[in-house]
Homo-oligomer: A and B are copies of this chain.
Amino acid sequence: MLSITAKQTFLKLGRSWTCCICNFESRFMRTQETTKDYNLCMKPQVQTEIPGPQTRKLTKEMDKIQNTAVLSLFCNFEKSKLNYLVDADGNILLDCFQQISTLPLGYNHPTILEQAHQSASTIANRPAIGYFPSSDFPALVTNSLLKAAPKGLTQVVTMGCGSCANENAYKSLFFWYMKKQRGEEVPADVHDIAYTSCMKNQAPGSPKLSILSFDGGFHGRTIGTLSTTHSKALHKLDVPAFDWPVAPFPKLKYPLEEYGRENAQEEARCLAMVEDLIEQWKDTRPVAGMVIEPIQAEGGDNHASDDFFRKLRNIATKNKIGFICDEVQTGMAITGRMWAHDYWGLETPPDIVTFAKKMLSGGFYYSDDFRWKHGYRVVNTWMGEPIKLMLLEKVLEVVQSQNLLLQAEITGHYIMNGLRQLEKLFPELLSCIRGRGLFIAATVENGKREKFVTNLLQKGVLIGKCGDHSVRLRPSLLFTPAHADILLEKVEETARDMRS
C-alpha cells in the first residue's frame, strides 16, 4: 500500500494525478510535463499486423545465420523514444518490457545520448579494466556504482553481464568458504596437494562444495549458474550439472495481505526445508552458500515476504554459509527502492549482491569479508566496460533529480490498483496481480497467455512473459500514471475482445 508520506512528498514536488482507484488527485504528466520531450506520452500507433512484414522478412534473413526462435521484433532504435519502441514496420509501441528490463530511462534519453556522443574515445579504447584502467576509473566507479551501493557493502567488481556476475560471485563465495576452512586464503605451502589436484579437476583443490538454490530461480545460462537455475527445463536440458541442492521457493497466494496466515505457513515449510538440505548435504557436498532473487523474475514473478528473506538470511548466518542476493532483474530502482532487498530491513546485509540489466554493467557488490587477496582469482579480460559506468552515472543523476524512485513506487501503486480493478472485471483472464513498484505481474491461466500478449501487442502495448502462466511489466523508470492509463485501457480492451 502506498504510504501517505509518499503521497505528500510527491505532492510537494508539484506532481499529481487523479488515480481512478484511490482518488488521489492528479494532473500528473498530462499538463506541463507532457509537453516536454522527455516525458512524451501518447497513444501507441499500430499500422500493420505485428510482427509486420518487415520483421518477418528480416527474421527470415537472420535465420540463415542463426536460430531466431526467441526473436520478437526488429526495431528502429533511431526513431524510438523513451517509453515508445518503434518497430521495423513503423509501429509505435508502448514498451513495458524495455529490452528485457535493461533500459532504465527508455530509448534515446537526451542525457544518455549526450553522454554517448561525448564518449567516442572511451568506446574506441575499450580497456582490460582489471589490468590497465583509465586514470579516471576510480572516480568513475565512485560516482556510479558506489553511489548505488547497497547498505553495508563497500566492495564492487564489474563484469560483462548478469551470468558472468553470478559466475564470479559464486567463485568468491567458494574462496571465502575455503579461506574459513583452512584459515588462510590459499595454502602457504606451494607443494600443497590442493594446487596439483585442482589442475586435474579433482578434490581437494576442486572441492566438493555446493550452492543451494531455489525451485523456479533463474541465475543465468552459463554452465556454473545453470546448476542454480530452475525456471524452465529447456534452459537446462542436456547440459551437465553439479549435484547441488534445490530448495522449494514459497508458493504464495495473492494478494499477499489477504492470505497472511496460509502464506506464513508455506514460508515456514520452505525455511525448514532449507535447513534440512543444509544438514543433509553436510557430508557429501557441503553448502557454501545460497543464492536467491528478491522476486523470482524469469520463474514467474514469484514473491515472498520480507519476513521470509530476513529468516533466510539468519539461517545463512547461523550456518556460517554465504548469502547471495541476485538483483540482476530487481535492482536499480524498478521496485521503488534502489535494491529490492532494501524492503527487507535486514540486520546483516547480504554478503554479495549481483547486478546487471538496468545497471548497464554486470557485476557484484560484496562485503569486506568476501574480499579475495590474490590476483587472477576473479578477473576477466574486459570485465565490463567504462562506458557503461559513464552512462550509469548519468542514469543515477536523473533518478535522483527526477525523484524516480518515488515515481516508480507511486506509478506502480497506480498500475496495481488498476490491474486489480480489471482482475475483478475479468476473473476468467487475470489473477494474482502482484508487484513492487513497477515490477508487476499477473497470471493469465488456461492457455490464454500467448493470445493475451499477442492481442495486446496488436493494440500497441509490449509486455513480457515469465514462468508458465504469467505476464510481466518491466517498464522504464520514466513510466508514469499517464502511461499506465494507456496500458490499463489497452488491457481492458484486450480482455473485452477476448471475452466476446
* Residue ranges of A at the interface with B (Cβ–Cβ < 8 Å): 54, 58, 61-62, 64-67, 69-78, 80, 85, 88, 99-100, 102-103, 107-109, 112-113, 115-117, 119-128, 130-135, 137-138, 141-142, 146, 154-157, 160-164, 167-168, 170-171, 174-175, 177-178, 186, 194-196, 198-202, 205-210, 215, 221-227, 230, 232-244, 246, 285, 356-357, 360, 371-382, 387, 391
Residues of B within 8 A of A141 (CB): 62, 65-66
Q: What are 22 A-B contacts defined by CB distance under 8 Å?
A: A58-B135, A61-B138, A67-B377, A69-B376, A71-B130, A72-B132, A100-B128, A100-B131, A102-B128, A103-B125, A103-B126, A107-B124, A115-B124, A116-B121, A167-B222, A168-B221, A174-B240, A194-B238, A196-B233, A198-B237, A199-B215, A234-B375
The answer to whether B378 and A67 touch across the interface, beta carbons within 8 angstroms, is yes
A44 to B99, CA, bound (A): 45
The answer to whether B186 and A237 touch across the interface, beta carbons within 8 angstroms, is yes
- Kindly identify which residue among B160, B178, B285 contacts A164, using a CB–CB cutoff of 8 Å: B160
A237 to B138, CA, bound (A): 29
Shortest CB-to-CB span from A59 to chain B, Å, is: 9
The answer to whether B134 and A76 touch across the interface, beta carbons within 8 angstroms, is yes
The answer to whether A116 and B120 touch across the interface, beta carbons within 8 angstroms, is yes
The answer to whether B102 and A376 touch across the interface, beta carbons within 8 angstroms, is no
- In the A-B complex, list the 7 residue pairs whose CB atoms are closest, starting with the nearest: A223-B224, A69-B375, A206-B241, A201-B241, A116-B120, A160-B160, A70-B375
Copies in the complex: 2
Residue among A70, A74, A226, A381 with most chain B CB within 10 A: A381
Residues of B within 8 A of A142 (CB): 65
Residues of B within 8 A of A239 (CB): 171, 174, 198, 206
Told that A70-B131, A109-B124 touch, could you supply 20 new A-B pairs with CB distance under 8 A? A58-B137, A65-B142, A66-B157, A67-B375, A67-B378, A73-B132, A77-B121, A85-B132, A100-B131, A107-B125, A112-B124, A116-B123, A163-B222, A167-B222, A198-B238, A199-B246, A223-B223, A223-B225, A234-B376, A356-B381
A141 to B374, CA, bound (A): 39
The answer to whether A113 and B107 touch across the interface, beta carbons within 8 angstroms, is no
Which single residue of chain B is at the shortest CB-CB distance from A141? B65
A174-B109 CB under 8 A given contacts A154-B65, A167-B222, A356-B381: no
- Kindly identify which residue among B117, B170, B195, B360 contacts A120, using a CB–CB cutoff of 8 Å: B117
A207 to B246, CA, bound (A): 18
Which single residue of chain B is at the shortest CB-CB distance from A237? B198
Shortest CB-to-CB span from A187 to chain B, Å, is: 8
The answer to whether A222 and B186 touch across the interface, beta carbons within 8 angstroms, is no
The answer to whether B128 and A99 touch across the interface, beta carbons within 8 angstroms, is yes
A76-B135 CB under 8 A given contacts A66-B155, A113-B121, A124-B112: yes
Shortest CB-to-CB span from A189 to chain B, Å, is: 12
- Kindly identify which residue among B74, B162, B235 contacts A134, using a CB–CB cutoff of 8 Å: B74
Residues of B within 8 A of A221 (CB): 167-168, 171, 378-380
The answer to whether B379 and A137 touch across the interface, beta carbons within 8 angstroms, is no
A6 to B230, CA, bound (A): 55
Shortest CB-to-CB span from A82 to chain B, Å, is: 11
Which single residue of chain B is at the shortest CB-CB distance from A64? B154
Residues of B within 8 A of A360 (CB): 126
A115 to B119, CA, bound (A): 12
A199-B77 CB under 8 A given contacts A113-B121, A156-B65: no
